[in-house]
Structure 1
Amino acid sequence: MTSSSTSSDTGESVSDPRICIVGAGMSGILMAIKLLEQGIDNFVVFEKSSSVSGTWRQNRYPGVACDVASFTYCYSFEPNPDWSHRFSPGPEIRAYFERVVDKYGVRPFIRFNTEVTEACFVDEQWRVTSSDGQQQFFDIYVAATGPLNNLHYPNIKGLKDFAGTCCHTADWDDNFDYTGKRVGIIGTGSSSVQSIDPLSAKAEHLTIFQRTPQWVMATDNPEYSALAIKLKHRLPVLGKLTRWFYAWIGEQFGLAALKDGFRRKLVFKACYQALNAVRDPELRKKLTPDYLPMCRRMIMSGTFHEAVQRTNVLVETTSIDRITPRAFGWSMVANTNWIYLF
């Protein structure tokens, strides 16, 4: 039910403002839940795809997972004792948001397959135009599109003429079988680092085209046992303590980035230890950044340093001049920053 308020000056009933929410990812879902908790249902959630969960719907590449501990990467009011790992895989996170949307009654307010193509502030209201040609007016406009909703392909000569398979990590071909293929990855960001282990485990050969080496901190990803999950169901305080612990760890990590001290020294030590696990001095040199840890976004992985040393993996640091239509019989894929070649 839409609530109303009364003007103290005129005594007339004033309707609550109409609200537009763009995006049904983590933030858009949360905004809708909080509005409903306040008795406000005069809102619409525009979602350009056919389902919710944003990043976790769009990114389906091999190895996709969150690099934030699962017990903190969920709503505080909706804990999930069923997380399977410390850093749970993407499909599990997506299932969590699908469940939350239904539990809190948000789905009826979502207009799926409807993209906002224009939003203009006119006469103290937002005029919103959607992909179905409709125009609606709203008093409040909430942009919950996130920073990674647009695919980016680099401007490399010959890319459009490539005859093999070419896709983006945020637009993965779920039916593509890379077993026995020659695979190339352009870029060494988080998406690339996560996918190197599963891709190299099945591909005939994997070439990583690296422009800038990254600091990758080795982080184990243990699986929670059936007993641990059962105990968190029976004793919810265990889940709360787990969430508090990882939130505290995140706070310490943030402090390490802000000021010098023992926290920063521990992070530096962990980064250098992970890098020194690479046995080949030439490969280790290729993977060594020319800047200190934490000068860029840190990458967490428990598989990267072992996977990159496999005999079927090559790290290429020279620049890419062009892509030919039949580049060694490879196909091609792109990640959120650069491009993959299969």
Structure 2
Amino acid sequence: MEHCTDMLIVGAGFSGLTMAIEARKRGIRDIAILEKAGDIGGTWRENTYPGVACDIPSHLYSMATHLNPDWSRAYAEGPEIQAYLQKVSRDEGLYDLCHFNQQLKSAHWDGTRWQVATEDGQRWSARFLISAIGALHVPSIPDLPGTDSFPGPKFHSAEWDHDTEFEGKRIAVLGTGASAVQFVPEIAKTAAHVIIFQRTAPYVLPRPDGPIAPWVRRLYRLIPILPRLRRKLIYIVFEYRHRVFRGEERMVNFAMKMWRRGLEKAISGPEERKRLTPDYRIGCKRILSSNDWYPALARKNVSVIPYGATSIKGNQVIASDGSHAQADILIWGTGFRVTDVIERLDITGIDGLTLRDAWANGMQANLGTAIAGFPNFFILLGPHTGLGHNSVVLMIEAQVRHIGRVLDQMKRDGIQAITADAAKQTAFTQEMQDRHSDSVWQAGGCTSWYQDAKGRNTTLWPGTVSEYEKRMARSGLEQYTPAPSQGGDR
């Protein structure tokens, strides 16, 4: 049986839900959402490790159309964000659009529509196809020799084993990224020993976190303009942080002072401080935020080996300098596969062009949103739409407003199918590489998940959110060309 719809959205996280809301506002009623799991939420459904939280303030990390006056903390924890997305979905009737436990297998353009198959054999036909699969859900696990010989529980932070007991156990943590910075302080409370294998030290800055008083929340409910003003104020403050990444000396010095103060307050020994000092410019890798990380590293039952793990032999984890440690439990805190997630999908556009072939020389999409040769196909949080300084929800909102406006223009002009203008896509991609070439992300002395296998930054937007919002607001059908009809199956 084949299901037909006007718009098929793949993924029910922030991106997919925001797109569905925008499409409905534009008058598109025939919408379906394919979701590989059994509920909405994306990143916040997948990541359930102890201490999981957002590093963007709650009032900014939420939809502008659905502000939440009831956030309990300045920086919300994972379960509260998931509950927020569930409430939005219930209030908007988005659950009625969702088809759960449906993982995309393939999609091909037949000349007039997208023909889509799921892993369990369902078939869909859609005029518009939206990729909203996100990036932070496919674990990146190094292929270390001997991993299979480890006798105890082993898992990635995004696949947390809640049946594993940590009390009194020796726990090896591989990696010091955003997830590890959050879960290590939690498991260290009861573990006998936590041994962290640190390939590179992160910059971890304190943040103004804490509960939001009940009377403040009541005020937000009574006066709806107040949470909107709070969101705007946080947005302005976080936009200002972009100056750190631009290398403005005063802002860099301020950020370094904050980092150094947090480190020295918790860690007293000069050797320990040296071990935890990054050897690259601040901002080259993701700047992390936590009030608990350095105090956790000061605990007597927490040790840092300043080298990455290279192999495992039984219950021994061996580092690149030859040092080793015994462990009962192994946890990968090694982040996610970002730069190759979408290209591994089986998506075929005009004249048999596969997404894998289109991106053989690296990810590219005009304005980070549409790809030449793939008609009526849009990507949310595609190439060059990630951020190092502000909320990606703002980028999603800018993208869906752009897509909605383009769909309106297509309807007005009687155009059935469009594809990104190839010349404009090439120019945009070159602009991004030029702007990144001397940026801290490329010239800051590190390698990071922002970069692809060839060392190019294909992930981040180099400017401010305000710049991207204005650019997307000015962009319309002129960024596209009509797609040729190929006859198709229908």
Change over 3 Å in CA distance of 1:284–1:259 after alignment to 2? closer
Q: Is the 8 A contact 2:48 2:78 kept in 1?
A: yes
What is aligned with 1:279?
Answer: 268
Which residue is 1:70 aligned to?
58
Question: Which residue in the other structure is 1:302 paired with?
Answer: 291
Aligned residues: 323
The equivalent of 1:312 in structure 2 is 301
Structure 1 match to 2:344 = none
Runs of 4+ in 1 over 4 A off after TM superposition: none
CA distance 1:152–1:319, change in 2 (3 Å) = closer
What is residue 161 of structure 1 aligned with on the other side? 149
Equivalence for 1:108:
96
Name the residue aligned to 1:334. Answer: 332
TM-score scaled by length of structure 2: 0.63
Question: Bigger relative contact order, structure 1 or 2, given CA contacts below 8 A and separation 6+?
Answer: 1
1:199-278 equivalences in 2 (<5 Å):
199-277=187-265, 278=267
Look up the match of 1:144.
132
Which residue type is aligned with residue 99 of structure 2?
Answer: R
8 Å Cα contact 2:174-2:309 kept in structure 1: no
Structure 2: give runs of 5+ residues left out of the alignment. 317-325, 337-490
SS of the residue aligned with 2:44?
helix
Q: Aligned-pair distance for 1:235?
A: 2.1
In 2: Cα distance, 1:306 partner to 1:220 partner? 16
Instruction: State whether structure 2 residue 314 is matched by structure 1 residue 325.
Output: yes
Aligned to 1:181: 169
Q: Deviations over 1:123-174 (max 9, x none)?
A: 2422211012122222211110111221221111111232211111111122
Query: Is 1:292 the counterpart of 2:281 in the alignment?
Result: yes
Give deviations 1:103-122, integer Å, cap 9, x for gaps: 00111111100000112223
- The CA deviation at 1:44 is 1.3
| One-letter code aligned to 1:163 | P
2:295 maps to a residue whose letter is: E
Structure 1 residues 273 and 92: alpha-carbon distance in aligned structure 2, compared to 1, 3 A threshold: same
State the shift of 1:257 in Å.
Answer: 1.5
- Counterpart CA distance in 2 for 1:334 and 1:269 is 30
Any conservation in 1 of the 2:53–2:76 contact (CA below 8 Å)? yes
Paired with 1:303 and 1:329, the residues of 2 have a C-alpha distance of 23
Partner SS for 2:9: strand
Residue 176 of structure 1, CA deviation = 2.3
Number of the residue aligned with 2:339: none
The Cα shift of 1:267 comes to 1.5
The question of whether the paired residues in 2 share the 8 Å contact of 1:148 and 1:336 is answered with no
Alignment partners' CA distance in 1, 2:181 and 2:136 = 17
Q: Which residue of 1 aligns with 2:72?
A: 84
The alignment partner of 1:102 has SS state of helix
What stretches of structure 1 of length at least 5 have no aligned partner?
Answer: 1-15
Range with greater deviation from structure 2 (262-271 or 298-307): 262-271
Larger helix percent: 2
Contact 2:170 2:327 in 1 (8 A): yes
- Tell me the TM-score normalised to structure 1 length: 0.90
What is the rounded CA distance, in whole Å, between the counterparts of 1:319 and 1:233 in structure 2?
A: 49
Q: For 1:22-48, what per-residue CA distance to the aligned partner results, in whole angstroms no more than 9, with x for missing partners?
A: 100000001111112223122211100
Q: Which SS does the other structure have where 2:289 is aligned?
A: strand
CA–CA separation in structure 1 for the residues paired with 2:157 and 2:51: 11
Give the letter for the 2:335 counterpart. Answer: N
Distance in 2 between the 1:196 and 1:150 partners? 21
Does structure 1 retain, via aligned residues, the 8 Å contact 2:171–2:327? Answer: no
Verify the 8 A CA contact 2:32 2:99 in the aligned structure 1. yes
Q: Which residue in the other structure is 1:31 paired with?
A: 19
Q: Answer whether contact 1:220 1:301 (CA < 8 A) is retained.
A: no
Shift of 1:181: 1.4
The Cα shift of 1:336 comes to 4.6
- Cα deviation per residue 1:76-104 (whole Å; 9 max; x = unaligned)? 11111111111111000000000100100
Q: Identity over aligned residues, as a percent?
A: 32
